[in-house]
Copies of this chain bind each other. A is one copy, B any other.
Amino acid sequence: MASEQKPVLYSYWRSSCSWRVRIALALKNIDYEYKTVDLLSEQAKSDLKAINPTAKVPAFVVNGQVLGESLAIIEYLEETHPEVPLLPKDPIKRALARQIALLVASGIQPLHNLKVLQILNKKEAGFGGQFAKQFVVEGLTALEVLLKEHSGKYAVGDVVTIADLNIPPLVYSANRFNLDLSAYPTVNRINATLAEIPAFIAAHPDNQPDTGLNA
């Protein structure tokens, strides 16, 4: 029987959702092939659609099977590579880690993604940013409350969890919107702590094969 093929990650350097998966892959020390999808190219998105019906990154291909949606990919990695766990053992803490991940991945990111900004800016110049900022601020405010209550060194306790994988991409987006982050000290503290971890450095948008594409 042939050995397992190297998995493939369809990614874009500045995609928040790809970034989350890159962190999980790096933390779990999983080798993979990086395939760039230029999200600003209609042809590239059309090609991607043949692989992932939502035409979104990330798409993760393992033994010919395509998986989409960042948190589903991360849960798959967690179940198949349980070394370096990204979920606590306690059921309530697991739920809190997933809640924080979803607060960002489902409650904030979808409202400031590229397509939303494009549609709203076409309606009126600047409206996209105005709309998005409102949800980023609201989400950061809720996140700060949850982190104040549940964080230790990291988002939920003292070990990195799936929750933490969502924080650097969120802060990065907030900075792109020029938001004042001084009201979120716990978010900032955890983000700064995460920024020192080699896997988080390796997964950062600045350190990808396609860094700077369309910058």
Contacts and interface: CB of A to CB of B under 8 A. Distances in A.
A127 B124 CA distance: 12
Interface string A136-179: 00110111011000000000000000000000000000000000
A67 B119 contact: no
A128 to B, nearest CB: 11
A85 to B, nearest CB: 14
Interface residues of A, number: 47
Most buried by B among A107, A124, A127: A107
Interface secondary structure of A, over-half rule: helix
Interface of A: 53-56, 62, 65, 67-69, 71-73, 75-76, 79-80, 91-92, 94-96, 98-99, 101-103, 105-107, 109-111, 116, 119-120, 123-124, 127, 131, 134, 138-139, 141-143, 145-146
24 contacts: A53-B141, A53-B146, A55-B142, A62-B92, A67-B92, A67-B95, A69-B99, A69-B102, A72-B98, A72-B101, A72-B102, A73-B95, A75-B94, A75-B95, A75-B98, A76-B94, A102-B106, A106-B109, A107-B110, A110-B110, A111-B111, A111-B116, A119-B134, A123-B124
